[in-house]
Chains A and B, each alone.
Chain A
Amino acid sequence: MPHANALYGPLDPAPDAGYENAPPRMGFFTDTSVCIGCKACEVACKEWNGVPESGLDLLGMSYDNTGALTANSWRHVAFVEQPRRAGLATPAFEQNPDGPAISPATAALGALTSVDTGTNPGLPTGSPGAAARMSAGPQPEFLGMPGAQPPGRGTGVEERTDFRWLMMSDVCKHCTHAACLDVCPTGSLFRTEFGSVVVQEDICNGCGYCISACPYGVIDQRKDDGRAWKCTLCYDRLGAGMTPACAQACPTESIQYGPLEELRERAATRVATLRGRGVPEARLYGDDPNDGVGGDGAFFLLLDEPEVYGLPPDPVVTTRDLPAMWKRAGLAALAMTAATVFAFVGGRR
């Protein structure tokens, strides 16, 4: 008997998937406000899961030379340089003889680089304009800035004083309603007793449906073996009662692993604390069971709009509309039949 919210809305996925007395749902809370961008998570993940090389090119995206989550990078640390205020911190370059910020322009160049990650689609190039706005924000006063003065002569307006460097370790969201899992035609993708979503590499036949279905652009296909790969939440470690490799390696507890309910409470407190400390831009992402995917198993504390980190602002699991889709397909099918009948029967002359 499928749950009323089987396709959409709040749900505890493991029992819904048929596990009897399943363990509590486990997940990640990634607090980007304490991430130091050390990339230990990326390395630990690759070491433990034997993930292949993902390319050796300098991308010029600040310190990000991974570029995106791919089949060959299951953790990805994003770096964003912004000429903007960071909480209550004293402006980094106040009174230094500097000109206007370059970050937006360099970000624009960063958008045009790429690297062979050994996967499909891997790391497509981007839109320089959007990249520039990622750094500068859409505020018009940032746009069309006139050429800089020689250093030190710039007026107060043109000098950069504020600066912040965002870092965030991205990962598969292990959605409550996982489109990748829903659309998988082979049953290769499955829901574990911990509520996470895992690909069985011995089943996957590389149809690629999950890749188009993921609203976060997480899952990806390896060129050499044609199969789809992504974070498993270290299913093998969980089974042995261990912490996933990335969370284990994270030195600053930016990546926290635990029962999802507990993590959500912790996250709420953390946001409150940060706002109390003058970081109004602190917000949670993916924590809400009522959102478009029924809440993420891996959710985040962000300091800017989701899309700045490459996350969709308001993702919705595509299968929410599946019943409607089938209805429309049925109608269309009837229309076809009707058309044919009319063509052959209708108006004989």
Chain B
Amino acid sequence: MAEAHPVGFQWVMEAKRRGAKVFHVDPRFTRTSALADSYLPIRAGTDIALLGGVIRYILNNELDFREYVVAYTNAATIVTDEFVDTEDMHGLFSGFNDDNATYDQASWRYEGHSQTQTTRDSETQRETAAGLENESHGAPVGGQTERDETLQDPRCVYQILKRHFSRYTPEMVERVCGIPQEKFLGLAQAWTENSGRDRTGMLVYSVGWTQHSVGVQYIRTGAIIQLLLGNMGRPGGGVMALRGHASIQGSTDIPTLFNLLPGYLPMPHHANHPTLDKWVDSIAHPGQKGFWGNARTYGVNLLKAYWGDAATADNDYCYGYLPRMTGDHGTYQQVLDMIDGKIKGYFLLGQNPAVGSAHGRAQRLGMANLDWLVVRDLFEIESATFWKNAPEIETGEIMTGECRTEVFFLPAASHVEKEGTFTQTQRLLQWREKAVEPPGDARSELWFFYHLGRIVRERLASSTRPRDRALLDLNWNYPTHGPYAEPSAEAVLYEINGYDVATGRPLSSFTEMKDDGSTAGGCWIYTGVYADGVNQAARRKPGAEQSLVAPEWGWAWPANRRILYNRASADPDGNPWSERKRYVWWDAEKSEWTGYDVPDFEKTKPPSYRPAKDASGVAGIAGDDPFILQGDGKGWLYAPTGVLDGPMPTHYEPVESPVRNPLYRQQANPTRKVYTHPINTLNPSPPEPHSQVFPYVFTVSRLTEHHTAGGMSRTVRTLAELQPEMFVEVSPELAVERGLTHLGWAHLVTARAAIEAKVLVTDRLTPLRVDGRIIHQVWLPYHFGFEGLVTGDSANDLFGISLDPNVLIQESKVGTCDVRPGRRPRGLQLQELVVDYRRRSGDLNPHYPPQVTTDSADGGPDQEV
């Protein structure tokens, strides 16, 4: 955290000043470890084993916050007897379908629920990264469940969880992660001791945690711990993602994703959502509890915001204009399609895939096969110059003379040169004023897209073709100002907030939204950010002048709520769990919810309220159901549906690992997204032969001195000089084994590429004893590329493409490689080197580790050659 988020780390230091103990788990000893009380070196890609160990520690010692767990989680819920756990199936859950390597989730469902809760089969869900839709609401399940609040029933979630994690013993944690047992127990003890009635603990992770073939399950494991310890919906609790950029949260709320619309409304699928009704029903799930019952309202308001007067009840509010998904349109699928010539044009905004995305060579070859490419960035980045400077020029794979891509490089305004909002991990919107005019031709994204749209619409003005209606009917009039006709960002915020169509009055809450077209709103969860015509995100009242919740600093969605599900900060009867942790509670006299924060609950619904048997939507939420966006109003220790790789997290090895999974026969995530394409070949892993050709684990992350792909730091003198060269960190033991010297050169080889780097031999890396073997890990920064003041080979070139099935995020934090002393060969010799490695690791055909390995013998030292 000190490395990638130094500014946020100040609060960790503040806590330490007040006596907090800091634990740091990381493959390498970083600037964070230097300030931590306990450092736990871990093998990259084994976090679920570690956290699973913590879950077992909690359950076996009954350290869970029992009252909270029984009342607020689905621990007591009974699961159908069709469910079979990984324990009995070598690491697979029941319902696995070998043909398309997906789960039929039916057998995971709650007792007494009907077969299909979803309108889409698992494969389509994987293709469309459906998991993302659950970012703001649980997957669909019915409201009524069977419960055993004694938690004794062998089929209740609590018992299932206990059985599932029973093998995640401290010994196993040591065997899988390489973390000594005492250290692990120290961590588990501190975590549990700091949770309960009087204390809460917060889990803060950085997004590197997500970039695994089991990324979603990493977070799930953390969430389960936080639920068991009663750390959700309470002050000082929660699961926080430290985003990699200023407004990543914002870019999923109002998404830059292919499968989502603003407010986590799913992008319609051509087959499953032919009509508006089918679309909204697929979100609302009639019969389900929770606020998603109003999905139609949110959908209609969005359409109304898009197409204004043209959107009427008769034409389903122009639902027909919405683009449709036909399958996977994720960034990696697109890259492969570019290589295959299926995509002709591409926009890159503030992104540098030539350096920043996995399998850099595929990225560059893809872009080199486009007709046109628009790059908007602060500096001329690698993705704008690959056609003349890419490493592939040297190998002859890209020839400047013949590269057909026409690149349009447009200078962009930086965040201080334009106004707008940042949305951070707490869902807090903070308004930025423009500090200076952008230099030269640099312009804001807002300016670019507004005028692009304006010009396109002018060109098509006379068109009579139906396909152009969607564009021409757009509600595309924003006030502009200044010499360059900069659109007003506040006007956009106003549209996002939503307004009464007749009067133009800004809405103050999404509860004011109507599904009859009388209101319009661009993003229902943001409604209220412009309440009373005031830019609430621009509020800057100092913390000293207001309560500890500081509700008047910026604005948080939804409804300026700083802690989600904060109903859970009170006990089932509505009283605070403890004075120390008092936050939101039920005021019996006034008979309403009150507290420091905006209650995340219907203000006047008493704790005693119980829904009628057939109640659904908001009415279906009982007075003690804090998780109001979950189908059953409970926090999920067990996901009966919606998580494509299993109802509970399970440790699978990374797709590329030198180690046979010590926990199960199943080696890697069986449902991971695999791209079979000639350019995407993977290193063999156990139980396959030849995995020893790539004996070392490599992981990449950030240096404080640089930012992601380096487009904003390698180009800036004062930053570039602080970390001026690409390097690789190796342990002294590996240095001896491979003959590497401090400040000498080394090159790393995978089945995709070979890159070179200066060597830093350092005690900060250590070999680990894993499953009786010594495992070496090396670390690389992924900031370097071939443009800028300081240049170097790109670490991301080493990775292949394997994705998590739920959200299609790539596994770009761990892989296997070989390390050799000296510089890498150049030109054709470089390709020969990689080819030679591929030959030695099997054959030259593209290689993909088997999805299912439950037939091969168990893990253990005997497996490895």
Contacts and interface: CB of A to CB of B under 8 A. Distances in A.
Indicate whether A and B are direct neighbours in the complex (CB within 8 Å).
yes
A121 interface: no
Contact of A99 (B31, B705, B718, B732): B732
B761 A39 contact: no
A38 B2 contact: yes
Nearest to B760: A60
A172 to B, nearest CB: 19
A102 B764 CA distance: 10
Interface in A96-122: 96-103, 105-106, 109-110, 113
A55 B736 CA distance: 31
Given A94-B183, A96-B41, A106-B761, A152 B721 contact: no
Contact of A43 (B718, B727, B742, B760): B718
B766 interface: yes
Name the interface size band of chain B. 35 or more
Contacts of A98: 731-733, 766-767
Nearest to B38: A90
A67 to B, nearest CB: 11
A165 B764 contact: yes
Interface string A157-193: 0001001110100000000000000000000000000
A39 to B, nearest CB: 5
Contact of A97 (B9, B763, B768, B789): B768
Contact of B767 (A38, A83, A90, A151): A151
Secondary structure call for the B interface: mixed
A135 B763 CA distance: 11
Nearest to A73: B721
Interface string B129-171: 0000000000000000000000000000000000000000000
Contacts of A85: none
B83 to A, nearest CB: 39
A167 B31 contact: yes
Nearest to A273: B17
B733 A58 contact: no
B502 to A, nearest CB: 49
B126 to A, nearest CB: 38
A150 B37 CA distance: 29
Nearest to B733: A151
A105 B722 contact: no
Interface in A20-37: 34, 36-37
Nearest to B33: A92
A252 interface: yes
A36 B761 CA distance: 21
Nearest to A57: B724
Interface in B721-774: 721-725, 727, 731-733, 735-737, 742-743, 758, 760-764, 766-769, 774
A148 B732 contact: yes
B447 to A, nearest CB: 27
A152 B2 CA distance: 30
B178 interface: yes
Nearest to B736: A148
A36 B31 contact: yes
B39 to A, nearest CB: 5
B274 interface: no
Given A47-B718, A60-B742, A109-B742, A38 B732 contact: no
Contact of B36 (A89, A99, A105): A89
A8 B17 CA distance: 37
B789 A56 contact: yes
B834 interface: no
Contact of A89 (B38, B722, B776): B38
A226 B776 CA distance: 50
Contacts of B479: none
Contacts of A110: 742
B719 interface: yes
B763 A83 contact: yes
Contacts of B767: 96-98, 151-152
A40 interface: yes
Contacts of B39: 89-90, 92
Contact of B723 (A65, A105, A150): A65
Contact of B37 (A57, A89, A252): A89
Contact of A252 (B9, B41, B758): B9
B721 A36 contact: no
Interface string B1-42: 010001101100100110000000000010111111111010
B704 A96 contact: no
Interface residues on A, range: 35 or more
A252 B763 contact: no
Contacts of B758: 58
A47 B704 CA distance: 17
Interface string B34-57: 111111010000000000000000
Contacts of B718: 42-43, 46-47
Nearest to B5: A251
A148 B761 CA distance: 15
A43 B790 CA distance: 17
Interface in B35-93: 35-39, 41
Nearest to B22: A89
A164 B37 CA distance: 11
B330 interface: no
A88 interface: yes
Contact of A65 (B31, B41, B724): B724
Contacts of B762: 62, 81, 102-103, 106
Contact of A81 (B180, B721, B724, B764): B764
Contacts of B735: 102
A39 B733 CA distance: 30
Interface in B705-721: 705, 717-721
B733 A148 contact: yes
A88 B37 contact: yes
Contacts of A55: 721, 724
Most chain A CB atoms below 10 A, which of B186, B719, B763:
B763
Given A37-B704, A65-B721, A167-B31, A93 B37 contact: no
Contact of B180 (A34, A94, A100): A94
Contact of B763 (A36, A39, A103): A103
Nearest to B8: A251
A95 interface: yes
B201 to A, nearest CB: 19
B763 A160 contact: yes
Contacts of A83: 763
A46 B723 CA distance: 16
A20 to B, nearest CB: 36
A66 interface: yes
Contact of B766 (A39, A86, A93): A93
A66 B720 CA distance: 11
Contacts of A251: 6-7, 9-10
B724 A56 contact: yes
A55 B789 CA distance: 11
A253 interface: yes
A152 B9 contact: no
A56 B790 contact: yes
A288 interface: no
A224 to B, nearest CB: 15
A54 interface: yes
15 contacts: A42-B718, A56-B790, A57-B725, A63-B31, A89-B39, A90-B37, A90-B38, A95-B180, A97-B769, A102-B761, A103-B762, A103-B763, A163-B763, A164-B34, A165-B31
Given A37-B31, A43-B719, A103-B762, 18 more contacts: A36-B9, A36-B704, A47-B718, A53-B717, A54-B721, A56-B721, A56-B724, A58-B743, A60-B742, A93-B41, A95-B182, A95-B183, A97-B767, A98-B732, A101-B732, A148-B733, A151-B731, A252-B6
Interface of A: 34, 36-40, 42-43, 46-47, 53-58, 60, 62-63, 65-66, 81, 83, 86, 88-90, 92-103, 105-106, 109-110, 113, 148, 150-152, 160, 163-165, 167, 251-253
Q: Which 7 A-B pairs have the closest CB atoms?
A: A102-B732, A151-B733, A165-B34, A38-B6, A58-B725, A36-B2, A95-B180
